[in-house]
Chain A
């Protein structure tokens, strides 16, 4: 299990998702807090490449032994790549939530949506309030 961290270079959604923005595409994942709350992830089924995702809507589920949790899209766009390695190794979401545990890559349809996301400091303030 990874140590708690919230990288500065990422943007955060209040449903405990992160986005790494690189030009007009972004990588999505769930935060350290999300994976810790869920416990060991035993199943993740990615959406198909080509699926349209909408900001604040769910696009996938992650499951621990006991619970199912919806994954929210922090931004809108079209899925261009999914992390196939998670099919056999979903525990990577726990081990490396910001690295090998990434979920999908999305071509963004509205770059201005990024402004609505939180930075690491604001997200951690939200966690304190939780």
Chain B
């Protein structure tokens, strides 16, 4: 592997966790430009006159609101509202959409789409083998990509078909770091050349370790940690991307959760003392009882303190609430915060 990567196996992929070091890569993205190889992300292409109807049926957001060249975030729910995945969908043509899946969920998502495609007049294509995905993020990201692109980059939440470093790419004004930047879908066989061109142009190679600390600082959800089949989008704080009036699968359960409120809510927090919270740590309320669980926790390189997200009882969910996190037997004071924990 190029660029001195340290690899780890994840969902059948060999993944670059870090190159120089998580903090250095993290700070490079916050101050300049980092590039992540996120080719493990899957893509499902939905084509045809009934493509919109299928996507509207399975995705939580109002897919009819996406213009050609637009992008939208949504979740994929079961009937009971349990979250199967969170995904970005790009409308690349009148009747053609590309939905980006999480690696570990890709096969299940694809099967779910196929199982529900039934009478809809559309075709589904698994594009995971065809496309690589590079995320170029940071205040200098657009300048670096623009220097390699033939044509103007799309603004935030828009997409454009552009040649980048000679390869025909779909460039998307999206990301997972809170910084400005783009995500580039390119033909798999062109990914090495594009990666090298981005490094030559000044981008810092960044691994999945930094991707995780960056996303957690801005409180973006990670499926498998902060989202799961056991939690509905309302308690995960994703009610904003659920439009029940479209009648998507799970809409009734989401509407009920929204109306009745949920017992717990996903909230960000910071440790007000030293230490690092970790997934699975218990959240302890002021009365000393266990009142929640940490789903993501790390050391924040930008804030230089322990941060995380946790599902906590609704009574503790207000920003400013003082709690304790049980970090392997040591109770460490923490405070519930509002999103994001870090403002780029």
Binding site for B on A (CB under 8 A): 39-40, 42-43, 45, 61, 63-66, 68, 87
Contact = CB atoms under 8 A, between A and B. Distances in A.
Given A65-B209, A65-B298, A66-B17, A42 B275 contact: no
Contacts of A66: 17, 22, 209, 212, 298
A17 B23 CA distance: 25
B204 to A, nearest CB: 15
A64 B24 CA distance: 13
Given A65-B209, A66-B22, A66-B209, A43 B298 contact: no
A68 B278 contact: yes
Contact of B276 (A39, A40, A43, A87): A43
A39 B299 contact: no
Given A39-B18, A42-B23, A65 B274 contact: no
Contacts of A39: 6, 18, 21-22, 209
A68 B279 CA distance: 12
Q: Which of B274, B276, B278 has most chain A Cβ within 10 Å?
A: B276
Contact of A42 (B212, B278, B299, B328): B299
Nearest to A37: B6
Nearest to A65: B22
Interface in B1-58: 6, 17-18, 21-24
17 contacts: A39-B6, A39-B21, A42-B299, A43-B276, A43-B299, A45-B275, A63-B276, A63-B299, A64-B22, A65-B22, A65-B23, A65-B213, A66-B209, A66-B212, A66-B298, A68-B276, A68-B328
B285 interface: no
Contacts of A87: 274
Nearest to B212: A66
B175 interface: no
B301 interface: yes
Interface residues of B, number: 19
B171 to A, nearest CB: 30
A40 B23 contact: yes
Nearest to A42: B299
Contacts of B278: 68
A87 B273 CA distance: 12
A67 B270 CA distance: 18
Contacts of A63: 276, 299
B75 to A, nearest CB: 26
Contacts of A68: 276, 278, 328
Contacts of A40: 21-24
Contacts of A45: 274-275
Interface string B286-302: 00000000000011010
Given A39-B18, A40-B23, A65 B275 contact: no
Nearest to B208: A66
A64 B213 CA distance: 12
Contacts of A64: 22
The list of the 9 closest CB pairs from A to B, nearest first, reads A65-B22, A42-B299, A40-B21, A65-B299, A63-B276, A43-B276, A66-B209, A40-B23, A65-B298
A40 B213 CA distance: 14
